[in-house]
Amino acid sequence: MIISYDEITKNKQWWSQLSEDEREEYVQKVFRYYRINGFPFYVYPPEKIQNELEKLYKFDKELISNCEVKQTMHGLGLCWSYFPHAFEVRNLTAKSPIDIFIDNELFLTAIRKRVKFGDNISDAGIRKAIRKYGGVGVSNFRPTAAYAIYKKYGGDGVIWDMSGGYGGRLLGAFMSKKINHYIATEPDKRTTQGLEKMGIDILSHATIPLKYIQIFPQGSEDFKPWRENFIDLCFTSPPYFNTERYSDEPTQSYIKFPKYNDWLEGFWEKTLKNCMYGLKSGGHLVFNVANVKTAPSLTTDCCDIAKKVGFQLVDTLQLQLSGRPHKIIEKAFKYEPIYVFTKRIK
């Protein structure tokens, strides 16, 4: 029997009137719908992409206040549409969203909990349920947060994103109206392909300042800029050592350097030396990183190596992350640090 999307997109007000048996029947219908139609990836047809880019290019807000980088969700869905494989990524302690989806019992459990605790069922609601009640999805750097960093530290507009990732910093470069040359290194093949496709769509806006997008399919530790002193900003959120397994390709830093100290030296220090080579005097190195279970001193170690290479710490910002519902206002958000270093003027 064919089940339409309209049949399963309901809200809490609707299902609160159902009996327990009727709610379970609805859960089973939702389950069957997604078994027929597959995982609810983000899908943006060409016209929707262009409309979204038009709206994002008009974005103009001040997002840094009192050393806090505020969060908005603008552009995130568009980013994810280029990287469907991101839902396959596992971390050390949890299954991926795809793992939950393909397991009948786990997926049914996620749907039931969404109906019990959530507000609605939709593609977005199912993605939230899978992440909240089983699978831990990878995060993406908010395009608007990247926009704010570029606005403050973008200099003359040449940037290197050392870990290209899922397009948040690339889309932020498009939004900034300040960046004219975006360079990214990214070792994962499918992620590189997604960045390239996003870049093609962005460059279709002929009037934008962002004229050059270069995606290099390699790790930042192996990329030496082709000349010295021409980059204004080196900016990224690097892998948090081995916490998220983006792929099993041998180019992944956690595979190349499975021991933490080797990773710090072989991946992070070499990356920063390449940044030092390419950055202009007075240019900035900016990175977002946080401590994790397998690297409890990651933030301190990353900063110490930056100082060792010759960078000077000039500021520490706080990146606002997902909200915490039902918390008092002073603790309504989680935060991660963004460290701002500069290359000393010679």
Tens of pLDDT, residue by residue, the chain (346 residues)? 789 999 999 999 999 999 999 999 999 999 999 999 999 999 999 999 999 999 999 999 999 999 999 989 999 999 999 999 999 998 877 889 999 999 999 999 999 999 999 999 999 999 999 988 776 778 899 999 999 999 999 999 999 999 999 999 999 999 998 999 999 999 999 999 999 999 999 998 756 788 899 999 999 999 999 999 999 999 999 999 988 878 888 899 999 999 999 999 999 999 999 999 999 999 999 999 999 999 999 999 999 999 999 999 999 999 998 654 333 334 456 899 999 999 988 6
Structure tokens given for 130: 């899978």
Reported pTM: 0.93
* Secondary structure percentages of the chain, helix, strand, coil, to 5: 45, 20, 35
CA atoms within 13 A of residue 261's CA, in its CB half-sphere = 0
Residue whose tokens read 């950055």: 279
* Residue-level pLDDT at 207: 67
Cβ neighbours for 154, distance < 8 A, ≥ 6 positions apart:
176, 178, 179, 232, 233
Are 140 and 117 in contact, with CB atoms under 8 Å apart? no
Can you list the alpha helix ranges (DSSP code H) found in 2-122?
A: 5-8, 12-15, 20-37, 46-57, 76-81, 97-102, 104-117
CA atoms of 80 and 78, how far apart (whole Å): 6
Rounded distance between C-alpha atoms, residue 97 and residue 100, angstroms = 5
C-alpha separations of 319 from 17, 209, 214, 271, 284 in Å:
41, 26, 27, 22, 17
Nearest Cα to 146, choosing from 74, 199, 217, 214? 74
Distance from the Cα of residue 1 to its chain's centroid:
38
Sort strands 181-185 and 212-216 into parallel, antiparallel or unpaired.
parallel
Q: What is the pLDDT of residue 1?
A: 73
Structure tokens at 203: 């460059």
What was the pLDDT predicted at 42? 98
For 77, counting Cβ atoms within 10 Å of its Cβ (0-12 exposed, 13-18 middle, 19+ buried), the class is middle
Are residues 331 and 300 in contact, defined by beta-carbon separation less than 8 angstroms?
no
Distance from C-alpha of 163 to C-alpha of 237, rounded to nearest angstrom = 7
Residue 323 has what pLDDT?
A: 52
